[in-house]
Amino acid sequence: MTITVDGINKRFGKFQALNNVSLNIPEGKLTALLGPSGSGKTTLLRIIAGLESADSGRVSFSGKDVTKLHVRDRNIGFVFQHYALFRHMTVAQNIAFGLDSLPRKQRPSKAEIQKRVGELLEMIQLPHLANRFPAQLSGGQKQRVALARSIATQPKILLLDEPFGALDAKVRKDLRRWLRNLHDEFHFTSIFVTHDQEEALELSDQVVVMSQGNVEQVNEPTELYARPDSRFVFDFLGQVN
């Protein structure tokens, strides 16, 4: 699915968080939303997901206007900044959550859900932790569970808000590989938010650079280095790193 964002404006009180943002996210690509803190990345991601509504503008998935569609009906996977696992549910129950919550007509049988959860647990290599609770897991394990949960309903679009922000360097590196492999295996259209330039350049097929509620550049990582105005990107990202 392609994602098209057209003339999105969003204010919080007097503060213009997004300023007439238009953007095309190509199907099957892993796109990084890169920019300093407060540049509007999370707000844009949440508007694409339907977790937040824009003041004006449109969001379409493969040409279909979804602006008014509830998050539940957009069939997207979403991974939050701090895992956001349900504490009172086991790992298996967390992964099953999206499937259990489907309207009855679309909901697989209990046996099918159990099978799907088993496959996802294998995929994230945590089948032995199925009955643990989130508090008993490491940060990296929690984020793998969050990834599995987000794709359980087989969405075409995967959105991730600073997915590795809370993890240490070694785990971050491993999880980047996880995300890249997942993305490549399932051909999602994926967008991840980051303020880490290295992460964006290493992991993505396309980098969208944001600053103060505006999209400043859209480039492939290699082009970002090659462009004559690339200094702009690195100068301004220099403020972050």
Residues that bind ligand ADP (CB under 6 A): 12, 15, 17, 35, 37-43, 193
Min separation Cβ 18 and ligand ADP, Å:
8
The distance of closest approach from Cβ of residue 210 to ligand ADP in the complex, given in angstroms and rounded to an integer, is 7
What is the C-alpha separation between 149 and 177, in angstroms, rounded?
Answer: 18
Nearer to ligand ADP, 51 or 102 (CB): 51
Work out how close the CB of 95 gets to ligand ADP at its nearest, in angstroms, rounded to a whole number.
27
Our CB check for ligand ADP shows the closer of 40 and 134 to be 40
Three-state SS letters, 176-210: HHHHHHHHHHHCCEEEEEECCHHHHHHHCCEEEEE
Number of residues that make up the chain: 241
Cβ within 8 Å of residue 158, ≥6 positions away: 76, 77, 78, 79, 150, 151, 182, 183, 186, 188, 189, 190, 191
Nearer Cβ to ligand ADP (52/205): 52
Q: Is the Cβ–Cβ distance between 60 and 4 less than 8 Å? A: yes
Residue carrying the six token digits 């349900």: 86
Closer by beta carbon to ligand ADP, 30 or else 215: 215
**Nearest to ligand ADP of 42, 150 (CB atom):** 42
Of the candidates 170, 171, 178, the one whose C-alpha atom is nearest the C-alpha of residue 147 is: 178
- Give the span between the Cα atoms of 103 and 107, in whole angstroms: 6
Smallest distance, ligand ADP to C-beta of residue 193, A = 6
**Closer by beta carbon to ligand ADP, 40 or else 98:** 40
Q: How far apart are CA 210 and CA 233, in angstroms?
A: 10
Shortest separation between residue 213's beta carbon and ligand ADP, angstroms: 7
Closest contact distance (angstroms) between CB of 40 and ligand ADP is 4
Query: How many angstroms separate the most distant Cα atoms in the chain?
Result: 57
